[in-house]
Structure 1
Amino acid sequence: MKIYYGMAQWQHPAWVNWLYPSSLPAAERIARYSQVFSTVEVGSTFYTKVDQAQLLRWYSVVSDDFRFAFKAPQTVTHRLFDRPWRDIVEDWRVFMVSLQPLQSKLGPTMLQFPAACDERLLERIMLLCDLWDLSAPLSVETRHLAYFDKTGHESLLLKGLAEKGVNRVIMDSRPVFSTQAYCDSLVDAQKKKPRVPCHPVATSSHPVVRFIGHPDLALNDKWLDQWAAKLSQWLAAELTPTVFVHSSDNIAAPTLAATLDQKVQRLCGDYQPSLQLPQSQEQASLW
């Protein structure tokens, strides 16, 4: 019974003297992060080709049970309309080759498609899934509303992913859109985060959740309760969920993750907590 919890980043200015001491060099923070969290979204691979030596350095400093969730390059996921298919496939293959030495510490690699990627591209999404040849799990995130109709194209997407053993990424942005944007971080989040229906359907053994929390922590409780119940169901079904917790400014994301894990523990008597945050800045500085 394991839940992998992580953030969308492994360092944040507000986490200094909490998750890691200020004296710790920035290059060493991922190792400290991996002592608290069990996974992380790596978005840098979406924007650019990360040097292989850098990937291996990250791999070498985290614990053996840590899992990286790398995002596929945007040249693969965001250029399906305007690039030759052979070029997309080549970039996908090159990316997979770069991940091969890291397989023992790979979580669900993410194919994250933009809102412009509509039902006309479903076949290409499925073909990219077919090309996946690593032993680690693969996940797919779609943002076009055609994939949230509960019938039609969503049914085709879910059926295709389930047949291929690919996990659907479940986006839950309800909290961050639950109030008007009364601060800068909410304004920014509501501009950038997708507002799509939350359909918590697992299509394979490693379901992926991306939870976008509200900066007013108490407002998240009802959704965290729902997720604690769903995660408990998945654990009972012997699935291994990965949960990436964001907040509008990501400062409180670790706290939200710990709160969710505590709620799961209360529902599952045999569940051993997956996440324990430092209790204070003083304790963190003693690590």
Structure 2
Amino acid sequence: MRLYVGCAMWTHPDWQEKPIPPAERLRAYSSWCNAVEGNTTFYAVPQRRTVQSWARQTDPDFRFVMKLPRTITHDRRLTGVDADMSAFLDAIEPLGRRLHSLWIQLPGSFTNLTALADLLDAIPSHHRCAVEVRHPAFFENERAITQLEAVLTAAGAEWIPFDTTVLFSAPPGSAAEYEACSKKPNNPRRTRALTEFPIVRYHGRDDVATTVAGWQPWIDTTVAWLREGRSPTVFIHTPDNAASRTLARRFHAEVAARLPALEPLPTPEPTDPMTLF
């Protein structure tokens, strides 16, 4: 029984209690969490030697959910992207089994399900895919929801919910919350899994108690998924993400309290500065 948890990044200024070389930060992060969102690939395709370094720093059981480049999803909107997809898949090939899923995050104006179906059909079948949509129709229009689910189910792909209901539950109370609200989508919560490997992105607030209270429905859903034999992945976000690494472990612990057979997370590496005494 395996639950993957993680954050939107593997390095953060508030996580550097002692100096860690850039080439070792992913290794340090992987002692806290067993998965990570690969957001950087949205902006640029990494070089293979960089991806090889990511593989060297992580155990084979660590998992990456890698976002397709924006040239594919946002600039070309999934059409005429064969060369771009080939280059991207070649670049991330060194991850091997660590590649949990390809993350297809679509713009808020995107509704072209034919283009999505064509892309999913063209991706080699050994790659698992998960799609994040943001257009309101996919949350409000039953026909659009049914059509999208049919496309995803036919391809064996998952629907990634980005749950921002807690973030938008009250006016922002800080600059970080204001910035998050200005950039994140505000759509209803969705808890239905389509595959054996559901992926959830949950966004809380600055206040830890509010964040933890807000994820309780996901604790119930995650426990149910695990009991059904699914292997979920949950990513925890906060406005500044300073506490997200600790919160991800707390989420895992709350699930484990209800499912004692759940495989434990690794033991975090010591992060206190070294002293002589």
**Which TM class, normalised by the smaller chain length?**
over 0.9
Separation of aligned partners in 1, 2:147 and 2:250: 35
- Partner SS, residue 200 of structure 1: coil
AA aligned to 1:239 is: R
Query: For residues 128-185 of structure 1, what are the alpha-carbon distances to aligned partners after superposition, in whole Å with 9 as ceiling and x for unaligned?
Result: 1111215242110000011112611111111221221111111111121122112110
Letter of the structure 2 residue corresponding to residue 31 of structure 1: R
Please name the residue that 2:67 is paired with. Answer: 71
SS in 1 for 2:160: strand
In structure 2, relative to structure 1, the CA distance for the partners of 1:178 and 1:234 (3 Å cut) is: same
Letter of the structure 1 residue corresponding to residue 134 of structure 2: R
The 8 Å contact of residues 228 and 263 in structure 1, kept in 2 or not, is answered as yes
TM-score by length of 2: 0.92
The residue type equivalent to 2:85 in the other structure is W
**CA distances 1:215-272 after superposition (whole Å, capped 9, x unpaired):** 1011123322111110011111111111111100001112321221122122224223
**Structure 2 counterpart of 1:48:** 44
Which of 242, 246, 252 pairs up with 1:261? 252
Asked if the contact 2:168/2:181 (under 8 Å) is kept, the reply is yes
Q: Any stretches of 5+ residues in structure 1 without a counterpart?
A: none
Q: What SS class does the counterpart of residue 175 from structure 1 fall into?
A: coil
Percentage of pairs with the same residue: 29
Equivalence for 1:131 = 122
Alpha-carbon spacing, 1:44–1:221, altered in 2? closer, same or farther (3 Å): closer
Tell whether 2:88 aligns with 1:95.
yes
Which of 215, 229, 239 aligns to 1:224? It is 215
Match of 1:3?
3
Q: Aligned AA for 2:58?
A: V
CA distance in 2, matches of 1:132, 1:102: 17
CA RMSD of aligned residues (A): 2.0
Contact 2:161–2:190 (8 Å) recurs in 1: yes
Q: Distance in 1 between matches of 2:271 and 2:28?
A: 14
Q: Is the 8 A contact 2:152 2:158 kept in 1?
A: yes
Worse-matched range after superposition: 106-115 or 149-158 = 149-158
Structure 1 residue 55, shift from structure 2 partner: 1.0
Residue 138 of structure 2 corresponds to residue 147 of structure 1: yes
Count of paired positions: 275
| Superposed CA offset, 1:42-101 (max 9, x none) | 1121111211111111112211111111110111111245x8x33x22212221222333
Deviations 1:183-236 (A, max 9, x none): 110011000111111111111111110011111011123322111110011111
Aligned residue for 2:167, secondary structure, equals helix
Question: TM-score by structure 1 length?
Answer: 0.89
Q: Distance in 2 between matches of 1:231 and 1:6?
A: 14
The unaligned stretches of length 5 or more in structure 2 are none
Contact 2:67–2:102 (CA under 8 A) maintained in structure 1: yes
- What is the SS of the residue equivalent to 2:33? coil
Which amino acid is the alignment partner of residue 11 of structure 1? Answer: T
- Residue 41 of structure 1 aligns to a residue whose secondary structure is strand
What is aligned with 1:34? 30
Distance 1:50 1:260, change over 3 A: same
The structural deviation recorded for 1:26 is 2.1
2: CA distance, partners of 1:151 / 1:33? 40
Runs of 4+ in 1 over 6 A off after TM superposition: none
Q: What is the one-letter code of the residue matched to 1:93?
A: S
- Partner AA of 1:24 in structure 2: I
